[in-house]
Structure 1
């Protein structure tokens, strides 16, 4: 039976049910990360980080005496272990080739902000292409890049996120199902069927929704995408080891680009707070430094394998400059391109309005932001504020959403266009250089809001 696909915007990350009536109800969703990550599994398992960035047989044999090895990442010298005794940490930390033993924290990497729905449904029609509403494509001159023959052929983008709807008609033709994989226990990379907002599916559509006269179109509509599930589709959370393993998996399986529309902000003193600012947990500050070190190992491994890594700058409205007490992961790491979000204000009233305002929620800072791209916003006082957001694919349909999570895939798509133009292989240093040199200088060359500028697809493939 053929599925019915509708254009639908939603207020929650997940919907329990949906009435697919003759009209199109429109409400909105935006996503925001929390300033301090919340630990939900600090004592269930540990990451064991070797000194040598390899895993010797001797080390494996020794660690097995103290617990069950549940994951190995030999390329970067990391084990994930479930301890079998209370002295696990001290015993393993004293082994010759062990650099550190760290709680494998599970934290929130994506978090929605609820927006009130309104009761003015409009009828668009489920079979009408929605390109008109994709102001972000115009902002980065994507159609001009397509028109000169560049659509991302031969480029492979791995999407580290909360899974993808494998049957979505805008995504299925570009999705490599054989390489797609899950690093989330108990969850398949192909999300559960149903009509709801899925973060990874929305991101995938921005990158590579097909040019098929149906629905929306992605920045690189002929690029190949691979789903690497590292976050639960139900909670948006995941352990650090899963992120690290997903990065290495992508690098080992031919990724040209990794998109990580995810992030968490850690306090370097090891304190964790809830959304009301109440202290919920504290770990030794040395753990935070070792968590940073382990993730940088994974990033560096992929970068050396020729992967361009794009990530979101975060949605806390935070100035990343001069804030030495926190770190945004992975955006603050070396060898990643961190992206802030831009948006129009009241686009529905005037489609010629400025599309490059910094989004109200976007993190910024010269030390944090490398590039800017369309991420959408929800700051308009009018009921049609959702048109200022980014329209893309969700499970069984399409939806508006906003966040630096939507900005990052715009840059990943342009990176795919650049790599595709160069035959499918390109050094990430060269990709980065091209992205930076061809970005539109919205402010100054390296501003706190826009980095080197707002990405420009047409210039990236013609200059």
Structure 2
């Protein structure tokens, strides 16, 4: 698990012991009460939890005050439970019990002073498609910037104005967390690092699937998204990345089947926010909502993170979660002609290139072969996850231009998008990185000019003060 936070004060430890004693007292009282009927209801009283995609018998526990693992285990023995710690610095843990035991357990947990919140766990799915075929990897090195031989096939970067954007910003100093299947940046098992991330700065992340500090990809999607954001660029090899001077943080929250759960994702979001991520790219979604997930999103947003997520690939009218939350920029997908794809869900805030999983029509980056991680190549992926990566990279370019506040970054991206008539289908339009960077620079310049004007007025007032006092 990620490293535990700093030691608590004596008062905090005393409070935790008091809560443990109160838990014992309440547990004794509850043991005398009549058991509930077996109806699993939302602890906030909003109705039953949806059964679709719920992990049977699992609850995610959000402890008060972030107790230590030892304290969680002591508490667990009172209930006959074995909590598995997910993120100790935030007091997140999960328990697995028989489905039939959930109603009574839920009633007890709702009254327990150590539990801040209890939620069901839901399955999320990657919002993308497997590539159709590998691209030809070799070709003539381009004579002009960037010299990556496959850049000429990356229609998606041209669609968002990459070349013009690079004249003013390349993502320097910005950290982009890729919350997905991991990144193939180190050796682990059969996986080897992909060649076209060799010059990319990759920070320490975490694998919440296998509880491992090494967040290595074993499916391919996460590495592909990482390439869209920060593929090593102008290195006479392979393809280009949109914000290629940004730093990547791999946060593995999806397994080798492209699935994850809310518990791991909520932990991953908080981890990225706590460890300096400026942008979070999330290429997955679920039809289920969760207060646990929403609070993790709110936490990251409050810490200054720009959150970007795929709306889903069901082709329906409702974005998946977390893309549906107000603090998240929900991204839909367009093809190479700028038309929304059949698979993209509607209701997005903005659109990005998602393409089709066909030669020349997909998103081309260096990645692992899906379901065969021993191999890597340059592959045409597709999905709203690919679209989200482009918007996340554009956000990194805006931040590196000097606009850092999440609400301001969002406003710039949406206001500079290429507009479409059908707002339900296209939201604000197709992201335009070059126009967003230009507006960001204008915003910073205007802010500096305004600050200078206020300073000049203040100095003038100070200089005029002696004469004013003399007249009095």
TM-score by length of 1: 0.71
Distance change >3 Å, CA 437–CA 65, structure 1 → 2: same
C-alpha distance in structure 2 between counterparts of 1:186 and 1:75, whole Å: 15
1:118-147 residue CA offsets vs partner (Å, 9 max, x unmatched): xxx99663786211110011111011111x
C-alpha distance in structure 2 between counterparts of 1:236 and 1:318, whole Å: 21
Decide which structure has the larger Cα Rg and report it. Answer: 2
**Which is further off, 158-167 or 79-88?**
79-88
Q: Is 1:303 the equivalent of 2:335?
A: no
Once the two structures are TM-superposed, the CA of residue 91 in structure 1 deviates from its matched residue by 2.9
Distance change >3 Å, CA 123–CA 305, structure 1 → 2: closer
Match in the other structure for 1:264: 286
Root-mean-square deviation (Å): 2.9
Distance change >3 Å, CA 122–CA 202, structure 1 → 2: closer
Match in the other structure for 2:194: 168
CA contact (8 A) 2:398 2:436 kept: yes
Distance change >3 Å, CA 116–CA 219, structure 1 → 2: closer
Give the secondary-structure state (helix, strand or coil) at the position aligned to 2:434.
Answer: helix
**Which is further off, 76-85 or 335-344?**
76-85
Q: 1:152 aligns with which of 171, 174, 179?
A: 171
Match in the other structure for 1:230: 253
Q: Unpaired segments of 5 or more residues in structure 2? A: 1-49, 142-148, 186-192, 369-375, 440-472
Distance change >3 Å, CA 127–CA 102, structure 1 → 2: farther
Once the two structures are TM-superposed, the CA of residue 329 in structure 1 deviates from its matched residue by 1.1
Match in the other structure for 2:313: 315
Match in the other structure for 1:459: 435
C-alpha distance in structure 1 between counterparts of 2:132 and 2:366, whole Å: 21
TM-score by length of 2: 0.70
Q: Is 1:405 the equivalent of 2:370?
A: no
Once the two structures are TM-superposed, the CA of residue 298 in structure 1 deviates from its matched residue by 0.1
Q: Is 1:251 the equivalent of 2:273?
A: yes
1:24-43 residue CA offsets vs partner (Å, 9 max, x unmatched): xxxxxxxxxxxx99648422
Alignment of 1:4-153 (within 5 A): 39=53, 41-43=55-57, 45-49=58-62, 54-55=65-66, 60=72, 62-66=75-79, 67-73=81-87, 78-82=92-96, 86=101, 88-98=105-115, 100-105=117-122, 107-110=123-126, 125=138, 129-146=149-166, 148-153=167-172
Q: Unpaired segments of 5 or more residues in structure 1? A: 1-35, 267-290, 321-326, 345-354, 379-384
C-alpha distance in structure 2 between counterparts of 1:256 and 1:315, whole Å: 26
* Equivalent residues, number: 361
CA contact (8 A) 2:154 2:363 kept: yes
Match in the other structure for 1:9: none
CA contact (8 A) 1:38 1:108 kept: no
1:357-378 residue CA offsets vs partner (Å, 9 max, x unmatched): 111111112xxx1111100025
C-alpha distance in structure 1 between counterparts of 2:430 and 2:136, whole Å: 34
